[in-house]
Structure 1
Amino acid sequence: MQREYYSGNRRNVYAELKKGSLVVFFSGDDIRKSADECYDFFGNRNFLYLTGIEEKGLVLLAGKQDDGEVWEKLYLRTPDPMAERWSGSRIKDKEASDISGIESFGYDSNFATDFHSLAVSGKYEFLYADSFKESTSDIDTSVHHFLRHVQAAYPYLKQENANLILRKLRTIKQPCEIEAIRKAEAITGEGIKAMMKASRPGMYEHQYKAEFDYVLGQYGTEGSGFPPIISAGQNNFCIHYYSYKGQAKDGDMILNDVGARWKGLVNDVSRGWPCNGKFTEKQKLLYNCALATSDYMFEVLKPGFKMADVDATAKKYNFEQLKEVGVCKKFEDIGTYMWHGGAHHIGYDCHDMIKRPEVVVPGMVFCVDIGIYHEEWGIGFRIEDNCLITENGCENLSRNIPRTIPEIEEYMMKNNTYLF
């Protein structure tokens, strides 16, 4: 991404602020894993969206004055040669400016003093921050500790929710974001095809994952956009399966729900295939029902379609397919075979943080996710593709990844040296 992209994102945020406001964003901190070990750092997605920088311990502080003028300052970690010898160099102001377009910098050791001066200056009435939690059990982060301190020390600052502003802005993808998603789609496709090439009865789930991870590693260090879901046989009936301990038996379906990350943007694609490269008649029957439903959704999705109707339409159409082949007799029983919703937005998160729209509009990117789980037959899979809403309809961004039965069987027959 160009620095103008991040500068533009910040301008859009500042435009939504009330006059007389401060706004603060934190990049995030390490999370303890065990003893002296921390989990790999994963930066706050909104901070990344606004700055392009993914490094722990940074703070973006900005102010919108009563006359509407805006200033901004990025607080970097104080240089520490000894610490940097162990854990790598810390970003400096020149590099941070080249990435983000920010021109004013300070160090983390000065942030508290600077904020105090602003808070007591009488120039600011509001404070915006992003203190989102998915669950009340989520751990507190820097922003939560900071806001508690602000509430106690500066109770006259009225706290406002910056998360709502970012959700609104992230709903519509910009051209450079769409291009990044396209690149992520291409990498994901190569990873899925690598698993198809290697697939065979007796292969372990962790070996499928190793094939996928290897491909992603050839394209840089961003890797997977979320923990890959890769399962075989009965493990396909766990929707979010991360164990990778199972072994594919002859005739088992391989389910994978995966996506690469590129320039911070992710995609989310699901494909299913028999580990031996040949669909059984029952597998074909169910797979074609899901495929027909997916194809139908890509025919009808266009600007003006109600977002709330996406899941309902997919469920109704899939029911008609399953009813026609004698699997599901009445609509009330569709939950026996469809276990999850059929759409979620993607972007900087797999389940992207957006403001849920009433209708779809050009520039939105979300998944069309059709799953069928027939426990009696031992067949579970999903077909998930990424949908870009265009001016007149939509585009299937992951269409080039083998998805029909002939495409999958032909690809495996031509490329899988274990089976053919």
Structure 2
Amino acid sequence: MKREFHIENRKTLYSNLEPGSLIVAFSGHAPRKTGDEDYPFFANRNFVYLTGIEQQDSILLASSFKNSSEEMLFLLKPDALKERWTGRRIKPNEAYDVSGINTIKYLDEFKDFLDKIIKTDKIQNIYLDFDKLRSDEPDSGAYKLCSYIKANYPFIVIKNLQPHLRKQRTIKKPCEIEAMKKAEEITRAGIISMMQASKPGMYEYQYKAEFDYTLMQHGVLSPGFPSIISAGKNNFCIHYYSYKGQAQDGDMILNDVGACFDNEINDVSRGWPCNGKFNEKQRLLYECAYETSEYMFRTLKPGMPMKDVDLMVRKYNFERLKDIGLCKNYDEVSKYIWHGGAHHVGYDVHDLVDSSMPLTPGMVFCVDVGIYVEDWGIGFRLEDNCLITKNGCENISGITPRTIEDIEAVMGKR
């Protein structure tokens, strides 16, 4: 993303906060994995959304007043010895080129500067990015700073940045949609590589290797999220990451994958027979999923409640399963439909958004139709990315083969 994107994101945030507010956001730090080895660093997505900076131990500090705002970045100091071991650190001019923030300081100055600005009496509120999903998660920089402020400045009101950023991230800007569409092209190439390599006897890790190799050939060093790739009975684990199973003749291959381009993630699922030809029962179930997906893309439009999307997928899919004799009444549908039918995508694969908003142009979310019939040994999902437009919607992952005829044609070119 160009720096203008990050500048605009910050300006929008400041305009929605009360005058006298201070914003502090952290890039994060890689946790220890084992021994003296850390996990690879992955920057906090809200921090990247606001700054474009993806270096650990970086901090954005911004103050919002009635008619103005001040902002600065705190970065790690240059250190030739440490950089020899762990890589080059971003320089102030480079940080400006990415973020558009003029004032750059070093990390060891942060605490003193924070104390100084609080003591000016201009700050009434401090916004921190509280993002825990469980209470037993380790404290991030936001939670540690919250404890420090409460102990030393009890008159300061601490507020959560999350609701503001969730609302902003709900509607994608044109540059985000452009990046998503590029990610879709790369994902398509990876899925087609798996389809064309597919054969009975192939291991799940070999499918994954095909996908990863294709992404890397397009400059994507890792997928947008851990790939779910499974065969046969392993398809009945919704989040499956073992990759140790072997596809047998007659098995369906399930994949739930996505590339990341310019920090925008897509999420696409396709199911196909490992031997390249749908049998009768596979065809029956796949047509149910496909017809449901097509119905959703014909129907979704601005103004509809987001909370209704999942229910629409479930109800329409039930009717298709009823038509082929699997369900008699709606109460039975949970036997075959195991998960939700929609979630937003963007800077996260399950993007942090304001889910109370109705469908609005610029929203991008998945239409995820999953069918799992254990008695038949068939489980798969058909998942595409829906962009809400002015008058309806667009399937931006529709470029990836999704009809039975197209899948069989692609697999026939092996």
Is the pair's TM-score, using the shorter chain for normalization, greater than 0.5? yes
Aligned pairs for 1:117-266 (under 5 A) are 117-266=116-265
Give the structure 1 partner of residue 365 of structure 2: 366
What CA distance in whole angstroms lies between the structure 1 residues aligned with 2:261 and 2:146? 32
Question: Contact 1:52/1:100 (CA < 8 Å) preserved in 2?
Answer: yes
CA distances 1:54-91 after superposition (whole Å, capped 9, x unpaired): 010000001123x4310001011011110001111110
Task: Label 1:91 to 1:64 Cα distance change in 2 as closer, same or farther (>3 A).
Answer: same
Whether the 8 Å CA contact 2:307–2:355 is kept in 1: the answer is no
1:385·1:399 contact (CA, 8 Å) conserved in 2? Answer: yes
Q: Conserved in 2, the CA contact under 8 Å of 1:369 and 1:384?
A: yes
Deviation of the 1:358 alpha carbon: 3.8
TM-score, length basis structure 1: 0.97
Classify the secondary structure of the residue corresponding to 1:376.
Answer: helix
Cα distance in 1, alignment partners of residues 388 and 221 from structure 2 = 26
Contact 1:250 / 1:276 at 8 angstroms: preserved in 2? Answer: yes
Structural mapping, 1:317-396, within 5 Å = 317-396=316-395
Query: Partner residue of 1:16?
Result: 16
Q: For 2:123 and 2:207, locate their aligned partners in 1 and report how far apart those are by CA, in whole Å.
A: 55
Match of 2:290 in 1: 291
- 1:357: how far off? 3.0
What whole-Å deviation, never above 9, does each CA across 1:20-76 have from its counterpart, x for those lacking one? 1111000110111101011110000000001111010000001123x4310001011
For structure 1, the residue ranges without an aligned partner over 5 or more in a row are none
Maintained 8 Å contact 1:97/1:103: yes
Amino acid at match of 2:57: G
**For this pair of structures, how many residues does the alignment match?**
414
Query: Does the 8 Å CA contact 1:228/1:256 hold for their aligned counterparts?
Result: yes
Distance 1:191 1:357 in 2: 34
SS at match of 1:344: strand
Look up the SS of the partner of 2:71 in the other structure. Answer: strand
Aligned partners of 1:222 and 1:262 also within 8 Å: no
Offset from partner CA, 1:185-237 (integer Å, 9 cap, x none): 00000000000011000000000000000011112245200000000000000
Distance 1:298 1:137 in 2: 40
Contact 2:339/2:370 (<8 A) preserved = yes
Aligned equivalents of 2:137, 2:219: Cα separation in 1? 31
Residue 34 of structure 1 corresponds to 34
The answer to whether the 8 A contact 1:255-1:273 is kept is: yes
- After superposition, the CA RMSD in angstroms is 0.8
Does the 8 A contact of 2:220 with 2:261 survive in 1?
no
The normalised TM-score by structure 2 is 0.99
Q: Secondary structure at the match of 1:89?
A: coil
Q: Percent identity?
A: 56
User: Does residue 25 of structure 1 match 2:25?
Assistant: yes
Aligned partner of 2:107 in structure 1 is: 108
The amino acid of 1:325's aligned partner reads I
What is the match of residue 64 of structure 2? 64
SS in 1 for 2:325: coil
Report if the CA contact (8 A) 1:222-1:261 is conserved. no
Structure 2 unaligned regions, length at least 5: none
SS at match of 1:203: coil
In structure 2, C-alpha distance between the alignment counterparts of 1:381 and 1:291, rounded to whole Å? 12
Take 1:194 and 1:390, find their aligned partners in 2: how far apart are those partners? 31
Show CA shifts across 1:135-190 (max 9, x none): 11222112211111111111111001111110000000000000000001000000
Question: Which deviates the most, 42-51 or 306-315?
Answer: 306-315
Question: In the aligned structure 2, how far is the partner of 1:68 from the partner of 1:131?
Answer: 27
Quick one: distance in 2 between partners of 1:282 and 1:244? 25
Q: Which amino acid aligns with 1:46?
A: N
